[in-house]
Structure 1
Amino acid sequence: MLSRYLKASRDWRQRWALLVDKIERVQTATDEQQLLARLSRPAKPFVLAFANAHAMNSLAASAPFFAALQSADMVLRDGSGMATLFKLLGMPPGRNLNGTDFIPELVRQFDGRSIAVFGTQNPYLERCLNVFARKLAPRSSYVSAHGFLDIAAYTALAQAQQPELIVLGMGMPRQEEVAAALRAALTRPCLIVCGGAIVDFLGGKTPRAPMWMRKLGLEWMFRLAMEPRRLFQRYVIGNPLFLSRAVRLASARRG
């Protein structure tokens, strides 16, 4: 498994540098509230994505995924690994706007407007919709679809229903590809959010770590303990690889 990662394109430094420059870092709670308000009023189809350590490793190995993530209209910093990267680069990391915490606050901004949720499968998709409808946006109307359709099915559904917010819960890199297709297909303003595991989290499929672990940036350790076989490659192999690349990128910039 490690050999596959090490065969990643030699272009990874350029890809990382470009995405680092693209990531929007929010420094204060006030700035975060202003960002939420801004995102809730898109002027056109607008893709919001998140970059974490796994995303950085993935884009190093995949040029199409890099292109999809780089094409997002906005990318936010997600996770303690990315904070470490920015600190090594001598840049303030800003607030940790991980999708699991940020997206529910974003959904609240769309209360009373139409919302689409595409991703995962039932019963988790239905449970997530119930959380949206009961706790986050009770005045909204909803449309949903599981995460295993052809991309054309999502664009057709979005064109027919015209939601103002679309939350994708398909994981990388599929959701970024779907997001790009939705943006190209839609003509009315719409915020398209690459939500990763958000639907599974809210639907009860994947538990959250205790708050103390989240505050210490150790939620990845909790997830690894819950799903060791599925997440071994992402965390046990991926985290050291990410840190190694972060150090090398920082050293290259200083040199």
Structure 2
Amino acid sequence: MTDTVRLLNIDFDNLTRAELLARFDRGFMLNPNVDVLMKLQHDREFYEIALAADFVICDSQILKMASRLLGTPIREKISGSDFFGEFCAYHAATPAVTVFLLGGMDGVAETARQNVNQRVGRAIITHAHSPSFGFEKNDAESRALVARINASECSVLAIGVGCPKQEKWAHRWRGEMPGIRQILCIGATIDFEAGNVPRAPAWMSRVGLEWLYRMAADPKRLVRRYLVDDLPFFVLLLRQRLGRYRNPFA
């Protein structure tokens, strides 16, 4: 079994969730699904951030199936939303691990904080903050937020403000947050943990249909993403299978 699996222009770490939990003691994690992988075909800045990530984990049953088609199977799909809860549970008895939760609408991050802490059995998420819309473009607000994170003395930053905004913000400012050992980019996880947005049934996730559930729940935002922006993935996958795929940033 290979240590990494290449899908289009990104190398995925071929780990089980148990191995990931044991190894992820420091660094920046990226969890690509099909949509993220397509963004990495067009956004050079995001692509360079992906190359600099310490862990790149498969967050898509479709990508897992694609890897099998290419003859280099990924061992396990590890959903970023599932992994965040598993990470918190794994460190339930590790007082040195504390989380700053960043993202969500007003009040949602705080609800998520309370729910996770109750489930885990300790206040592992010690701080939760919902930033203003467009905060990532405001250096003054970003610096104030970095100061707030540093003052919290948290060891983990979990940021869920949408992709690739969350990855770009975290990558830009990580050097000014010396106490942060681990960065998790968790997308819609804050809404899931707050109970604000329902998760797809487990069987849909297992067969690669979680995208369909999410699209049906939020068609205005997601129909274009899944049925227009992401559809070319299958053409690119065929090109890779035939040895004709070319990295647009090579």
* TM-score normalized by the length of structure 2: 0.84
Residue matched to 1:55: 36
Residue matched to 1:202: 193
Q: Which amino acid aligns with 2:13?
A: E
1:137-216 aligned at under 5 Å gives the runs: 138-140=122-124, 142-148=126-132, 149=135, 150-188=141-179, 190-216=181-207
Q: Which amino acid aligns with 1:245?
A: L
Gaps of 5+ in 1: 1-14
Residue matched to 2:91: 110
Which structure shows the higher helix fraction? 1
Q: Which of residues 189, 211, 218 in structure 2 aligns to 1:220?
A: 211
Residue matched to 1:33: 18
> What displacement does 1:162 show?
2.3
On the 8 A contact 1:25/1:94 being kept in 2, the answer is: yes
Q: Deviations over 1:125-181 (max 9, x none)?
A: 121111121012524351121143343233222222221111111111111012213
Residue matched to 1:8: none
Residue matched to 1:10: none
Cα distance, 1:16–1:159 mapped onto 2, change above 3 Å = same
Q: Which amino acid aligns with 1:38?
A: R
> What displacement does 1:16 show?
5.8
On the 8 A contact 1:80/1:96 being kept in 2, the answer is: yes
Q: Deviations over 1:58-85 (max 9, x none)?
A: 1112111112222211110011221133
State the alpha-carbon separation in 2 of the partners of residues 141 and 168 from structure 1: 12
Q: Which of residues 222, 227, 248 in structure 2 aligns to 1:236?
A: 227
Residue matched to 2:55: 74
> What displacement does 1:253 show?
5.6
* TM-score normalized by the length of structure 1: 0.83
Q: Which of residues 99, 115, 120 in structure 1 aligns to 2:104?
A: 120
State the alpha-carbon separation in 1 of the partners of residues 244 and 121 from structure 2: 45
Residue matched to 1:5: none
Q: CA RMSD in A?
A: 2.2
Residue matched to 2:3: none
On the 8 A contact 2:31/2:59 being kept in 1, the answer is: yes
Q: Which of residues 73, 78, 81 in structure 2 aligns to 1:97?
A: 78
State the alpha-carbon separation in 2 of the partners of residues 37 and 237 from structure 1: 38
Cα distance, 1:80–1:207 mapped onto 2, change above 3 Å = same
Gaps of 5+ in 2: 1-5, 136-140, 246-250
Residue matched to 2:120: 136
Q: Deviations over 1:228-252 (max 9, x none)?
A: 1100111111342111111112212
